[in-house]
Amino acid sequence: MRLFPQSIRWRLTLWFGLTLALILAAFSAGIYTFVHTRLLKQLDGQLGKEFAAVKRILREEPAEIVELEEDGIALASVSEGSTLVHRTNDWRRAELDKAIKSGGTRRPGRPWSWARGERSYRLMADSVRTDGRTFHVAVAVDARPIRRSLRTLALMLATGFPCALVLAMVGGYFLAGRLLAPVGAMAAKAREITADRLAERLPVVNPADEFGRLATVFNETLGRLEDAFERLKRFTADASHELRTPLTAIRSVGEVALQEPLDVAAARDAIGSMLEEADRLSRLVDNLLVLTRADSGRVSLAVEPLDLAALLRDVADCLGVLAEEKNQTVEVEIAEPLTVEADRITLRMALINLLDNAIRYTPSGGRIRLVVRRMGDRAAIEVADTGPGIPPEHREKVFERFYRVGLDRSSETGGAGLGLAIARWAVEINGGRIELESEEGRGSTFRILLPERKGGETA
């Protein structure tokens, strides 16, 4: 069994109760001590006065010592040596001589308390010298009234203490319950949220308090999770769809080829188109892998100074054959030699994708320019073609995954719509940005802007 309860509500109540109990105990003890001291002081004052009165009588009118009661002194005893001079009746009845005996060790002239059963007295004794004689004077006052008052006070404090504590703890328990109610509601709601119900949100009672802020932050996290889940779902659906197209093509080419006897040329033809589809499939899988790795954030970059002129020439050489097949010219224009700090592999991948698009979408005989120039404090690489251009309503969307202008997925030129998404990711991961300028019917210009390498113009 746990000594301390698990519930915050109970823990709060207990801490609250414990603190209050300590405060109340200190407060009660303080009050009791204060009242006790004050009452005792009053009593001692009276005792002092009575003692002084007896002393005065002894000095001024010793004969009247036997009439102490008449002077309002009810409890007094005067003796000389072992001879009793006078003792009031009440003193005798109260058997206060016993008190004198038991208090004999006390310092003379200092009051002390004496109690026997229900009886309680405050006493003072001292010697009084007058006319060469030494009297032993003892006076007492009844301390029962103050004892009763103190007992009543103690009783009030003792009953008030637990009552106040219980009331405060009950109040604290309900208050803690009220304050913690949003947590219960949040927990109940959070329990309902599953992967299929990510659109649900936690209730926010007061957005300004701690629980409200917690719920808001949690809701924001849920929002991001929901987005990520949505994107993942869309990506998986699109990817499966894209993978199905070449697979269906391979399958139907195979089925048709199997249906009738083929001569060698027809068989080669069928195998050729199957290989073409397989090629398309493997490119698609490669692209999907790149994007998956990009999403996982586990891409390691080897950032190094890159001479853009050399990089552009390399890319142009790499895809030159494709352009040649379509009678296109690819020109590399280096307005000024520039160096950037970037990862060669990812930046090259972005450029290859842009140039590949330019070649694919520009009709035969077109012209493609790869330009390096400075734009403000950045290095710009432009891939400009004389193709059909991209209509304004598609310009932002072409960078989205699986987005294509014109939905002809089976067309010769069209890919899966991943090239520009990969290019944008590759540029952004290198600290750059990609822009598109296009004039419909007159061509498109994709521009990569990268921060120029500080202090270096050439590699």
Closest CB to ligand ADP among residues 415, 432: 415
- On whether the CB atoms of residues 365 and 329 are closer than 8 A, the answer is no
**DSSP three-state, residue 387:** coil
Closest CB to ligand ADP among residues 13, 444: 444
Question: Which has the closest alpha carbon to 116: 129, 102, 106?
Answer: 102
Residues 436 to 455: which contact ligand ADP by CB under 6 A?
444
Closest CB to ligand ADP among residues 20, 316: 316
Closest CB to ligand ADP among residues 77, 445: 445
Least separation in angstroms between residue 437's CB and ligand ADP is 11
Least separation in angstroms between residue 302's CB and ligand ADP is 25
- CA dist 249 and 273 (Å) reads 9
Question: Which has the closest alpha carbon to 138: 189, 105, 102, 100?
Answer: 100
Cα atoms in the Cβ-side hemisphere of radius 13 Å centred on 391: 5
> Per CB under 6 A, which region of 12-20, 52-60, 300-308, 418-426 contacts ligand ADP?
418-426
> Per CB under 6 A, which region of 133-141, 234-242, 325-333, 409-417 contacts ligand ADP?
409-417
Closest CB to ligand ADP among residues 137, 368: 368
- On whether the CB atoms of residues 418 and 404 are closer than 8 A, the answer is no
> Per CB under 6 A, which region of 132-140, 296-304, 328-336, 402-410 contacts ligand ADP?
402-410
Q: In what order do the strands lie in the sheet with 443-451?
A: 329-334, 367-375, 378-384, 443-451, 433-439
Closest CB to ligand ADP among residues 387, 432: 387
Closest CB to ligand ADP among residues 76, 427: 427
> Per CB under 6 A, which region of 277-285, 294-302, 334-342, 399-407 contacts ligand ADP?
399-407
- CA dist 294 and 426 (Å) reads 9
Among 418, 426, 448, 450, which residue interacts with ligand ADP (rule: CB under 6 A)? 418
Closest CB to ligand ADP among residues 90, 276: 276
Closest CB to ligand ADP among residues 168, 351: 351
Least separation in angstroms between residue 395's CB and ligand ADP is 9
Stated as kind and residue range, the H or E segment containing 126 is strand 119-130
Length reported for the chain: 459
Question: Which has the closest alpha carbon to 69: 90, 43, 93?
Answer: 90
Closest CB to ligand ADP among residues 140, 239: 239
Least separation in angstroms between residue 257's CB and ligand ADP is 28
Among 146, 416, 449, 450, which residue interacts with ligand ADP (rule: CB under 6 A)? 416
- CA dist 114 and 425 (Å) reads 96
Among 246, 415, 426, 447, which residue interacts with ligand ADP (rule: CB under 6 A)? 415
**In the numeric block, which tokens belong to residue 382?**
């432009």
| Residue closest to ligand ADP (Cβ) | 415
Among 405, 431, 437, 459, which residue interacts with ligand ADP (rule: CB under 6 A)? 405
Tell me the Ramachandran region of residue 81: left when phi exceeds 0, alpha when psi lies from -120 to 50, beta otherwise.
left
432 binds ligand ADP (CB under 6 A): no
Least separation in angstroms between residue 429's CB and ligand ADP is 17
**In the numeric block, which tokens belong to residue 209?**
């308090």
Residues 333 to 392: which contact ligand ADP by CB under 6 A?
357-358, 361, 385, 387-388, 390
Among 103, 172, 417, 432, which residue interacts with ligand ADP (rule: CB under 6 A)? 417
Tell me the Ramachandran region of residue 376: left when phi exceeds 0, alpha when psi lies from -120 to 50, beta otherwise.
left
**In the numeric block, which tokens belong to residue 278?**
């397989």
Least separation in angstroms between residue 276's CB and ligand ADP is 16
**DSSP three-state, residue 297:** coil
Closest CB to ligand ADP among residues 184, 391: 391
DSSP states along 213-242 = HHHHHHHHHHHHHHHHHHHHHHHHHHHHHH
288 binds ligand ADP (CB under 6 A): no
Q: What sign results for the dihedral spanned by CA atoms 359, 361, 362, 364?
A: positive
In angstroms, what CA-CA distances link 34 with 149, 242, 266?
13, 90, 117
Among 17, 212, 254, 414, which residue interacts with ligand ADP (rule: CB under 6 A)? 414
419 binds ligand ADP (CB under 6 A): yes
Q: Which residues bind ligand ADP (CB under 6 A)?
A: 357-358, 361, 385, 387-388, 390, 398, 403-406, 414-421, 444
